[in-house]
């Protein structure tokens, strides 16, 4: 039996854009948001403008304010920094730029050592996160869809708890009379408690535990898209599983490795809570130094200079790497 054709709407009676909308409604149902955005110029601009306004209000404007304070001079009044310019007369402006804040960072060993220590802690923590997260992400990507959703839920589940509470929980585990030492002494492995709190080991544990999901999720997103028939073809050609992994899986997962490493390394450099609660007092990370300059010393210009210098030292290598990667992709095409 032939299917009855749908009656055509009276488009000729209604002209212009209203006729177009009537025809789309009659044939495809009520208009959707995506359809409206496709045929509306102002709607497209609105969708694009929303993230730009967000970045302008909460990223660019605060960055400009901190950048301006970094060239100011400290003072005891509120706010604790002098303005960059003052009107001397109706036609004259007194501009005072203080570059000594940035020079002070290079002459004082505290900031250089704190930044280098932060880079070391972040690099080692990122490496441990990668070694732990890669097998987990690979296993999740190779699992069945039902089991995969369960694993992903278990990875995201710690985010439902406060970050500060999770760090405090490690204090109860790592201290001398904590759970780990009590269990090891009960089964006879050790005779006296092992000092784990206020050490670099505790800082590594806290950072790896806290930022491990940020490494797993990009790796899973990359590994899940791989064509596993390539591994079967490599096996048919006589390649061992290790050689197939090194020649196929690992090179294809480099974008996920880079994305996950950046998501872990960048916030780990400026970490403040974990080193303050679990780390030692003689090794200061740059986040702790930045907080002390703002709130303890009340030297906002130097603190702003520390923040700007840390941002530039992190962002410039990332921008260079992204530009190099874009050139490689363009050359491959």
Q: Tell me how far apart the alpha carbons of residues 302 and 299 are, in angstroms, rounded to a whole number.
A: 6
Q: Tell me how far apart the alpha carbons of residues 73 and 82 are, in angstroms, rounded to a whole number.
A: 5
Give tens-digit pLDDT for 289-308: 888 888 888 889 999 999 99
The whole-number pLDDT of residue 219 equals 94
Helix (H/G/I), strand (E/B), else coil: 52: helix
Contact 54, 45 (CB under 8 A): no
Q: Is the pLDDT of residue 279 over 70?
A: yes
The whole-number pLDDT of residue 50 equals 86
| Summary mean pLDDT of the chain | 83
- Taken in order of first residue, the domains within the chain and their CATH numbers are 109-298 (1.10.3720.10)
pLDDT band per the 50, 70, 90 thresholds, residue 91: confident
Please classify residue 251 by burial: count the beta carbons closer than 10 Å to its beta carbon, then call 0-12 exposed, 13-18 middle and 19+ buried. Answer: exposed
Among residues 210, 53, 245, which one has the least CA distance to residue 129? 210
What percent of the chain lies above the pLDDT cut of 90?
Answer: 38
Within 13 Å of residue 44, how many CA atoms lie on the same side as its CB? 5
For 139-177, b where at least 16 C-beta lie within 10 A, e where not — what string?
ebbeeeeeebeebbeebeeeeeeeeeeebeebeeebbee
**Structure pTM?**
0.79
Strand extents, DSSP E, the chain: 85-87, 93-95
Contact 200, 193 (CB under 8 A): no
Q: Tell me how far apart the alpha carbons of residues 232 and 250 are, in angstroms, rounded to a whole number.
A: 15
Please classify residue 210 by burial: count the beta carbons closer than 10 Å to its beta carbon, then call 0-12 exposed, 13-18 middle and 19+ buried. Answer: buried
Q: Tell me how far apart the alpha carbons of residues 148 and 158 are, in angstroms, rounded to a whole number.
A: 17
Mean pLDDT on 244-259: 91
Among residues 115, 124, 121, which one has the least CA distance to residue 310? 115
Q: Is the pLDDT of residue 14 over 50?
A: no
Give tens-digit pLDDT for 175-219: 988 899 999 999 988 888 899 999 999 999 999 999 999 999 999
> Alpha-carbon torsion 20, 22, 24, 26, what sign?
negative
Residues in CB range of 161: below 8 A, 6 or more apart: none
Give tens-digit pLDDT for 28-81: 555 555 555 555 666 677 778 888 899 899 889 999 999 999 999 888 778 888
Give the best-scoring range by mean pLDDT among 2-11, 131-140, 175-184: 131-140
The whole-number pLDDT of residue 10 equals 47
Alpha-carbon separation of residue 75 from 21, 65, 66 (angstroms): 64, 17, 16
């Amino acid at each position: 039996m032939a299917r009855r054709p749908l009656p055509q709407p009276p488009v000729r009676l209604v002209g212009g854009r209203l006729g177009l909308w009537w025809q789309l409604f009659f044939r495809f149902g009520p208009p959707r948001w995506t359809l409206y955005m496709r045929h509306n110029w102002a709607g497209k601009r609105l969708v694009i403008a929303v993230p730009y306004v967000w970045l302008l209000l909460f990223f660019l404007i605060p960055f400009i304010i901190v950048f301006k304070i970094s060239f100011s001079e400290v003072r005891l009044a509120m706010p604790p920094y002098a303005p960059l310019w003052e009107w001397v007369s109706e036609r004259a402006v007194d501009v005072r730029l203080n570059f000594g804040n940035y020079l002070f960072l290079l002459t004082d060993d505290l900031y250089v050592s704190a930044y280098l220590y932060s880079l070391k802690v972040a690099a080692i923590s990122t490496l441990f996160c990668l070694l732990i997260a890669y097998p987990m992400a690979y296993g999740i990507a190779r699992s069945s869809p039902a089991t995969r959703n369960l694993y992903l839920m278990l990875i995201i589940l710690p985010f439902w708890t406060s970050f500060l509470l999770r760090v405090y929980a490690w204090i109860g585990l790592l201290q001398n009379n904590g759970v780990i030492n009590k269990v090891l002494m009960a089964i006879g492995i050790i005779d006296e408690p092992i000092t784990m709190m206020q050490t670099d080991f505790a800082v590594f544990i806290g950072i790896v535990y806290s930022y491990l999901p940020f490494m797993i999720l990009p790796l899973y997103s990359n590994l899940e898209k791989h064509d596993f028939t390539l591994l079967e073809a490599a096996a048919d050609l006589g390649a061992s599983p290790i050689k197939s992994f090194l020649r196929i899986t690992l090179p294809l997962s480099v974008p996920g490795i880079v994305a996950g490493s950046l998501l872990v390394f960048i916030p780990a450099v400026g970490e403040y809570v974990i080193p303050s609660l679990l780390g030692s007092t003689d090794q200061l990370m740059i986040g702790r130094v930045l907080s002390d300059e703002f709130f303890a010393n009340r030297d906002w210009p130097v603190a702003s200079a520390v923040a700007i210098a840390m941002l530039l030292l992190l962002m410039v290598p990332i921008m260079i790497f992204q530009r190099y990667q874009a050139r490689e992709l363009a050359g491959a095409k």
